[in-house]
Amino acid sequence: MKAKVYLTGAGPGDPALLTLKAKKAIKKADVILYDRLANDRFLEYAEAEAEKIYVGKKAKDHHFTQSEIEALMIKKAKAGKTVCRLKGGDPFIYGRGGEEALKLKAAGIEFEIIPGISSSLAVPLYAGIPLTQRHLASSFAVITGHEAADKEESTIEIEKISAAVDTLVILMGVGKLPQIVERVLAAGKSPETPAALVRWGSHSKQQTLTGKLINISDRVEAADFKPPAVIIIGEVVKLRQDLKWFENKSLFGKNILVTRPRAQAASFVEMIETEAGRAVLAPTIEIKAAQNRQPLQKAVRNLGEYTHLIFTSVNGVKHFREALDQKGLDFRALAGIKVITIGAKTAEELRKQGIKADFMPADYSTAGILNYLKQLQGEGKINLSQASFLLPRADIAPQLLEEELKALGAEVNNVEAYRTEAVALEPEVLELIKNSDLDLLTFSSSSTVENFISGLDH
């Protein structure tokens, strides 16, 4: 297979700002070289066997030099690998993507450029600062702070640029802010010109500091405001007071622990991130097939023996479907069987298979199912002594439902459809807990609670 490198922009950090094309490149890659500004959540789109290498750089702390990154990229590609070079923002806007592309060209390696949303555009927006505004600002410029600070050696004529545009956006300039402000003032800008710095823009930990040219450097020093941050200078900064929106979201700045299995956490994580929270993935259980699959397969072969089928989880539905598949069957095999579910997500998983549950208790509980069946029996609509229930459940599922159904006279086959295994808490998560950096802990089952507590003891 011919090697290829995708120079891929990952955007400023919000997972929702990753483009569809970038997502496809991550998924097809054999090797992913990712930097410090690309949200680690993007790696979830990679195949499990993909090699993931962190090559991040920050001031005075380089895991890899630029030349080492280029050499590694070429080495992997020449080994026949499809490489995704994942870069924060856009690869060609102060991302050194052009340099990397030229190296690939010289090495005879095919490459493709996938644009990303630049932090120079997205971060001011997430802070509620438009770069242009009718009657206020009709032009803007983006420069790098690395070169803009040194008047003697800089190739950037910041005085001319600042005088020519209404809004100035500066990337990678926090460490040289006093020198930058001095040059902007020398260009004729008023000391009262509004200025803002936005740190970790589009992330839940976004921070915005505002002031004026005359005092912004002092404010940054007093707040110990560290990079990475985008600097915005211009009258448009005044609009932030009315236009800020991201920081007003209900979960902004909240670190929320998600303990459900990784494969089932996507929708919940998306809900958290939609409200500007940070989802800390820490699955405490892993769902696996039953060690002995014969009981479930036998139950599937003999579905005609059952009058009712009760699903208490999404996993029960999925593993039951797999058992049907293994026998060359589908959910049409349930014709004539009443289906009961606990939980909206379980019912939704069934609907994906074209099956609408006959009943779902409003309180998502075993008691709700039992009360419903007792009511039907009282109305003469069911004779539980002649009913037969199949319960495809977890190996650790509570026995209450089975015991109560039997007490009502029904036959019950409580069959293990899947099992749960404990997953150890990662050191990063334990550190967040130790430092009291988590705002909310969420649990989807008793087993996630038990394994979480157990994990704290190790």
Q: Which residues are catalytic?
A: 35, 57, 172
Q: How far apart are CA 444 and CA 346, in angstroms?
A: 13
Q: How far apart are CA 64 and CA 427, in angstroms?
A: 24
Q: How far apart are CA 370 and CA 189, in angstroms?
A: 75
Residue whose entry in the numeric block shows the structure tokens 């490459």: 111
Contact 289, 419 (CB under 8 A): yes
Q: How far apart are CA 277 and CA 134, in angstroms?
A: 33
Q: How far apart are CA 10 and CA 42, in angstroms?
A: 8
Q: How far apart are CA 409 and CA 407, in angstroms?
A: 5
Contact 367, 374 (CB under 8 A): no
Q: How far apart are CA 19 and CA 36, in angstroms?
A: 18
Q: Which helix (H) or strand (E) holds 5?
A: strand 4-9
Single-letter amino acid code for the residue at 280:
V
Phi-psi region of 440 (alpha: psi -120 to 50; beta: other; left: phi over 0): beta
Long-range contacts of 431-440 (CB under 8 A, 24+ apart): 432/255, 432/257, 432/280, 437/255, 438/255, 438/256, 438/257, 438/280, 439/254, 439/255, 439/256, 440/254, 440/255, 440/256, 440/257
In the beta sheet, which residues pair with residue 414?
391
Single-letter amino acid code for the residue at 413:
N
Tokens of residue 191, six digits:
């000391």
In terms of residues, how long is the chain?
458
What is the DSSP pairing of strand 82-87 with strand 4-9?
Answer: parallel
In the beta sheet, which residues pair with residue 388?
411
Contact 258, 230 (CB under 8 A): no
In the beta sheet, which residues pair with residue 281?
258
